[in-house]
Amino acid sequence: MTDQGRQLAAENIARARAAYLRYVEASEVALNAFETSAARAAGLMGVTLPAAAADGPDADSPTARGWAAMRAMAQTLFVATDTNMRAGFSFASKLVQAEDARAAIDLQSRYLQEQSERFAHQMLDLQRTALRAAGDVARGTGAGPL
């Protein structure tokens, strides 16, 4: 790859990374707005969601437990996605700096190995979160432990 090609690729990676970070920020704003709206709507129906119920009488209601479980699953998925995106940007940045095809292949091989390990850990984390969430939701329903 020519120096100009490397420079162009590096600039495009930087732009993509910046766009991704703006997307993440906008997603957080949208999620917070959704949670606020949902809490207001639930309040109109006489239900308190976890954010508002932390110390209140509804903190252990089935609705609050379900909401907290959904939030935990979403958070686990968001963290995994963000980790993978950042790893991809890091890999792309290194790849455009590769000296030759052999270095690029070595980088690719290392990235695929790391990504496989990362996916395995993320799936275990998601499984633990799902089991914990299901247990929390089932608590108090008579379904017993999961």
Q: Quick check: is 143 in a domain?
A: no
Task: Determine the pLDDT at residue 56.
Answer: 52
Q: What is the pTM of this model?
A: 0.73
Looking at the domain assignment, is residue 16 inside a domain? yes
Can you tell me the distance from the alpha carbon of 74 to that of 118, in angstroms, rounded to the nearest whole number? 18
Domain presence at residue 120: yes
- Which tokens in the block code for residue 29? 């704003």
Question: Is there a domain that residue 58 lies in?
Answer: yes
Number of domains in the chain: 1
pLDDT in tens, 53-112: 444 555 567 777 788 888 889 899 999 999 999 999 999 999 999 999 999 999 999 999
DSSP 46: T
Residue 146 lies in a domain: no
What is the reported pLDDT for 23? 92
Domain that holds residue 53: 3-138
